[in-house]
Structure 1
């Protein structure tokens, strides 16, 4: 019996090790795809950027650790967008594209902010790890926003930016909160939001919505695996909290970058904000 258990343990460890190796291999190969993809996102956002140009706040790792070079504008309704891997060069246009879809869906923020962080990094696992630090800095910004009398924050992240927004919710201190948290094609395992590390932070938001598409093969190939799901492809695979919803946008989102500016995403999220009781 002991030998069987040991063999099972070894099998599980090999599967986890193989999964990590496969992810590294896949994401190294995907680097070129996403570098090209950032240009696509910039083009898609150019028209809406003329309508709504967000303030850009840079979050970076400096001499004294991670910090932001500005503060959130204190207003009643604030839209905050966080980009994903290789998205720092086009974060303004990406944020504008998402905001344009929200406005078409019926929600118009008073002001908007794009969070830029150093995601142009061929070390994908390093960038993935940095999302925790980015989330912590954004949590500090939101706490200061709350202390200054700010209203509702609508926090949206794409790809690795989805990891950032879930980290932000997890890092918030007592007494602070977020109106809406939304991940678009979040690069993560479903187990990360079903349990550790993000489940405990879900109650700091009024509403959490996770947008996923079966057509998002990039996230689907890199995450999930044995006994798990890819958060941005299949959803969480659980019911992690009463304020959490998985939203399947397979019918309209044909690939990893297509969440940005998608009408179905914008309409659903705008409706959740305006009628969902998180005003």
Structure 2
């Protein structure tokens, strides 16, 4: 297992929220990565899942705007995974692979859900823009889950899916929240979580963990630049909130897709889930 370095590695506490129980699994995948048009594309091969296939909820832009074709199962511990660019056709296997790594690390959710959104789009900037709408729909799902008496939500996103999960936290109302938010190789600038648009939403989560690797050249070539960082390559480059941790997995993650199913990522996140908590 590669060496993990975490900055600001404290769980944080949120006032005004009930303490919740533990959460659910994560995913894995293998495949190839492409970069073009300033964006990241991932095509993932089938994974040999060792866990039950997650429920898939489709989020689409229809005649009346963005909506979901289902609701989150009301349970004590729920794992939710959101894929990245070109990941919609393989989201179920990706989620199962991540969940395998989480369960190997010691965390098993009660139920799991994979969020599928129309990310197979050669217009990368269009797909990047859509992540805000996807995040808003998922935030509505979480609020409905909370209103129905659901327990803990563990929300994980890869690449552009990382943008989705940070948008979800930002779109949530102050009376709702998520226990765990984790971005894996998030396709974003560090400044987006240090300031606008996501910093204000970090307080709606109990704990936020951002996994990054210096070997993630896909994110590094598309984001960052002078005076900024690539969130999925370098981390945030700041201390955006007391409940936020940058987790350096350069020692084990050798490319953009290797976050999915990585043992070090699964072990660290499982430990954060099972030992953390907020009130």
Who is 2:247 aligned against?
A: 247
User: 1:151 aligned to 2:160?
Assistant: no
In structure 2, the residue matched to 1:27 is 36
What CA distance in whole angstroms lies between the structure 1 residues aligned with 2:103 and 2:129?
33
Offset from partner CA, 1:11-49 (integer Å, 9 cap, x none): xxxxxxxxxxxxxxx632766xx3xx41xx333xx212x
1:168 aligns with 2:168: yes
The answer to whether 1:42 aligns with 2:45 is yes
- Larger Cα-atom Rg: 1
Aligned partner of 2:140 in structure 1 is 140
Deviation (angstroms), 1:264: 0.3
Distance 2:255 2:160 in 1: 15
Where in structure 1 do 4 or more consecutive aligned residues deviate above 6 Å? none
RMSD of the alignment, in Å? Answer: 1.3
Deviation at 1:80, TM superposition (A): 0.1
Question: Do the aligned residues in 2 keep the contact of 1:74 with 1:148 (CA within 8 Å)?
Answer: yes
Q: Name the CA distance, whole Å, in 1 between partners of 2:128 and 2:113.
A: 22
TM value normalised by structure 1:
0.86
1:81 matched to 2:81:
yes
Question: TM-score under structure 2 normalisation?
Answer: 0.86
* Higher relative contact order, structure no. (Cα contacts within 8 Å, ≥ 6 residues apart): 2
Give runs of aligned pairs for residues 1-279 of structure 1, distance below 5 A: 27-28=36-37, 34=41, 37-38=42-43, 41-43=44-46, 46-48=47-49, 50-278=50-278
Q: 1:62 to 1:222 in 2, by over 3 A?
A: same
Number of residue-to-residue matches in the alignment: 245
Residue number in structure 2 paired with 1:4: none
Which whole-Å CA distance do the structure 1 matches of 2:38 and 2:244 have between them? Answer: 33
* CA drift at 1:106: 0.2
Deviation per CA, 1:83-105: give whole Å up to 9, x if none: 00000000000000000000000
Runs of 5+ consecutive residues of structure 1 not aligned to the other structure: 1-25
- Structure 2: distance between partners of 1:64 and 1:30: 28
Distance 1:55 1:278, change over 3 A: farther
Structure number having the greater helix percentage? 1
Q: When you count strand as a share of all residues, which structure comes out higher?
A: 2
> 2 CA distance for matches of 1:277 and 1:226?
37
Verify the 8 A CA contact 1:27 1:222 in the aligned structure 2.
Answer: no
Gaps of 5+ in 2: 1-34
Tell me, yes or no, if the aligned pair for 1:81 and 1:156 is still in contact at 8 Å.
yes
Note the C-alpha offset of 1:174. 2.1
Contact preservation (8 Å) 1:52, 1:100: no
